[in-house]
Structure 1
Amino acid sequence: MEKLQFYTNSVFDLLRQRQDPLADQAVTALVQDPSLITEINNWKVIPEVMPFNYPIELKSFFEFYLEKQRDYSETHLRPAQDFFEEKGDLYLAMLGFYSLPYCYAFADGAQVLVRSNRILEQIGERLGETASFVLEIFRPGAFSTQDKAYLVCAKVRLIHAFSRYFILHYAKDWNLAFGQPVNQEDMLGTNLAFSHIVLRGLAKMGATPSEKQYESVLIYWKWIGELMGIETQFWPTTTKEAFELDKLIRKRHLKSSEAGQRLVNGLLHFYQKTIPDPVLNSQAEGILSFFLGQEASQALNLKPGIKVPGEILGLVFDYSGRKNFGGRKNYKALKKSLQSQQRDQFGKVLEIRLPELKRT
């Protein structure tokens, strides 16, 4: 309960002005020498010894990850990987049908997202990259060695820093009333959407996780948060804290915006074109509204949700998953299926890559 004392407007007003200095300094160095971006995109893992020609800001950034390996605890982190092994298909479904549109309903945070042309014009690729990110960080045994999972987290963290850099340097329409772009409050909220909101979605479908499973996922995303530059002293580790943090952020930022509505309309259009399951395809808007609830649905101008019990909707998602995986719903089958879908749709397996900058 002690952590709840920090969940106040005054504290979170300060968090809206704080970003991620370690990553921001690294991106400034990359902008000055874009050739290093290509090198990093070609890495398979973070090298144990940084190249001698890398600027100190970049070395410091990646050495942070080499040092974090010492903090890895299988006892604390493996339970969440086991949970994903069992529920991975539903977890990813909730990211697409609940977590992402939920983020769009928060007007100030949506202002960053809508300024990325890729999220509007290449939404399929962005969704695929998000799925690849989640698959990598939940891979059985991820983080137990200095492996690809650390590099993926480092790249996503740098992508956030690139967003901050380009908005602050080139977005003439950025309003400081939105807060600093990709600030600490928004990063906490996004982490919450990828954990607490996913679990709440499972509960709405009648697949309520146990208290132990719930807290194992929160512990896992605290670890991910540390790797993503989030100030995790504010991160919840109990269901009560997660509920109160979400409640605070909702009160502060859930409201209608043109940015949020553009984002959710793009998401719906993509789903209606690409989801093969006719039930999920035809009822996409209603399903989003069902999970989001009345307040968030109204903020995004979505029609009321489908009028069926959540348990029935859970059966639909479960049946869709079983069709894809032939009854073998585990991590290996999920990854194989998603990579096959990506090859069919994009001609390649999608990976997290830093934005390549034009050399001047």
Structure 2
Amino acid sequence: MIDAQDFEALKFHGDPLADAVVADLVETGRIGVVNEVLAHFRDNDQPIPRDLPESVRSYLVTTDAPPAWADLDRVAAAYDFFVDDGVHVASVLSFGAMVNCYAQPRGSRVLALTHRLNQPHRRLSETSQFVLNMMGRDPFGAGGAFVPTLQKTRLIHAAVRHFITESGEWDFEADGVPLCQQDMVGALLIFSVQVVEGMRRMGIAVTEEEAESYYYVWRVAGAMLGIPAEAMPETLAEAQQVNARVVEATFGPSPEGIGLTRDLLDVYEKMVPGKAFDGVVAAMVRQVVNPEVADWLQVPRSRGWNRTVTTGVRLMRFLERSEDRSKLATSVLDKAGSLLLGGSVRTLTNGQPTALNIPEDLREKWLAAGVCPAAHSAAADLASRAPAAPA
């Protein structure tokens, strides 16, 4: 299992494979052309696009499959968990995991230096799509869309490293490589281990088997994002230990983290109508994340809303215990989770429908259960794509 010394050393490691591709594209001036081609590369079984530089084609071939050790049956086991609790995963990811990312000062500086990445509505939309693609029935097989998502994300990370390094605004000796492997391991554990912990804080029951399956999918995804195998904990128990002893030790306050958190809260407060409910978003964040992290990032306090949310969590725990026996309890839990993600689908891009694409199998399951977060925005989305009526 990785220790604190090994974790610290990861600050100085990037991703040689993807970094070499980006360096080649910068040198030959073809980044724009490649971006245009890859924008239409979305499905696992889609042929590699033509007219790509050899460095990109070779990279796409090399990264086209999960690692040899990956057990796809274990990956499939996470699907049922996400069918049942995907909306809750998305809610806790949005309220807690995003904020915990901002508690990492070096990572927050990267986001602040990269204009495209410090826009909370864009990051939420892209992160949501990443998780939706990951949690389909067969994310790495035919019909899925996760492999191109991973390949493009890895290249984006490499591009960020390149341009921040070239900007002259980064202290390599003090901070290591921007978007280094330490950042990648930290993000992986925030989006896996810490999301499960946040769900349990909110009163959502997650069994050990479900948590193991959810973490395993993230571990496979981490390997495909270029994280070395020796840097990733093999089991959920090891991941929990690394998270508690090493990753959370990197948390702290920073001006960039405070600003990013404020922007994130602003996005969510716009989703809640009226001023009377402005404090509920901050209270939800404080329920999900560690109180010290919330204080570092200056998440506002509201005694009234904190009490209301705490009472709501107690109710959620009661309902969760009775979920198997009560259809009403199940309905309350699902609606509470889907409200946030449903709002996000409509508002993450400043009021415009987003390009979030829920995998068809998940959409059918969620529609049948009455919890599909995009159900109410589908008409608006279709309307936005329809041609304008003649004057």
* 1:311 aligns to 2:311 (yes or no): no
Letter in 1 for 2:230: Q
Q: Please, which of 91, 94, 119 is the counterpart of residue 92 of structure 2?
A: 94
The match for 1:26 among 8, 21, 27 is: 21
Structure 1: distance between partners of 2:105 and 2:161: 17
Equivalent positions of 1:19-98 (< 5 A) are 19-31=14-26, 32-34=29-31, 35-45=33-43, 54-68=52-66, 73-98=71-96
What is the distance in 2 between the residues matched to 1:302 and 1:258?
A: 13
Please give the per-residue CA displacement for 1:90-112, whole angstroms capped at 9, x wherever unaligned: 00001110000011011112111
Secondary structure of 2:290's counterpart equals: helix
Which residue of structure 1 aligns with residue 336 of structure 2?
A: 320
**Is 1:173 the equivalent of 2:176?**
no
Give the structure-2-normalised TM-score. 0.77
Classify 1:246/1:321 alpha carbon distance in 2 versus 1 (closer, same or farther; 3 Å).
closer
After TM superposition, the score normalised by the length of structure 1 is 0.83
* Aligned equivalents of 1:146, 1:323: Cα separation in 2: 28
Q: How far apart are the structure 1 equivalents of 2:144 and 2:24? A: 24
Matches within 5 A, 1:250-329: 250=247, 252-275=249-272, 282-304=279-301, 306-307=306-307, 308-309=310-311, 310-312=313-315, 318-321=334-337
Secondary structure of 2:189's counterpart equals helix
User: C-alpha separation between the residues in 2 aligned to 1:109 and 1:137?
Assistant: 23
Between Structure 1 and Structure 2, how many residues are aligned?
Answer: 338
Residue 124 (structure 1) shift: 1.7
Q: Report the equivalent of 1:103.
A: 101
SS in 1 for 2:213: helix
The amino acid across from 2:18 in the alignment is: A
Q: CA RMSD in A?
A: 3.1
Work out whether residues 143 and 149 of structure 1, in 8 Å CA contact, stay in contact via their aligned partners in 2. Answer: yes
Larger displacement relative to structure 2 (274-283 or 254-263):
274-283
**Is this contact kept in 2: 1:199–1:208, CA < 8 A?**
no
- CA apart distance, 1:198: 0.8
Identity of aligned residues (%): 25
Which stretches in structure 2 are left out of the alignment for 5+ residues? 320-331, 343-362, 386-391
Larger mean Cα displacement after TM superposition, 14-23 or 246-255: 246-255
Conserved? CA contact 2:65–2:140, under 8 Å: no
TM-superposition CA deviations, 1:156-181 (whole Å, max 9, x none): 111111111110112x3212222211
Question: How far did 1:211 drift?
Answer: 1.1
Q: Which residue of 1 aligns with 2:9?
A: 14
Separation (CA, whole Å) in 2 of partners of 1:92 and 1:254: 22
Change beyond 3 A, Cα 1:132–1:41: same
Q: Is 1:336 aligned with 2:374?
A: yes
Measured against aligned partners, the alpha-carbon deviations of 1:135-155 in whole angstroms (never above 9, x if no partner) come to: 111112221227421101111
The SS at the match of 1:16 is helix
Cα distance 1:276–1:74, how it changes in 2: closer, same or farther (>3 A)? farther
Q: Is the 8 A contact 2:136 2:144 kept in 1?
A: no
For CA contacts below 8 A with separation 6 or more, give which structure has more relative contact order.
1
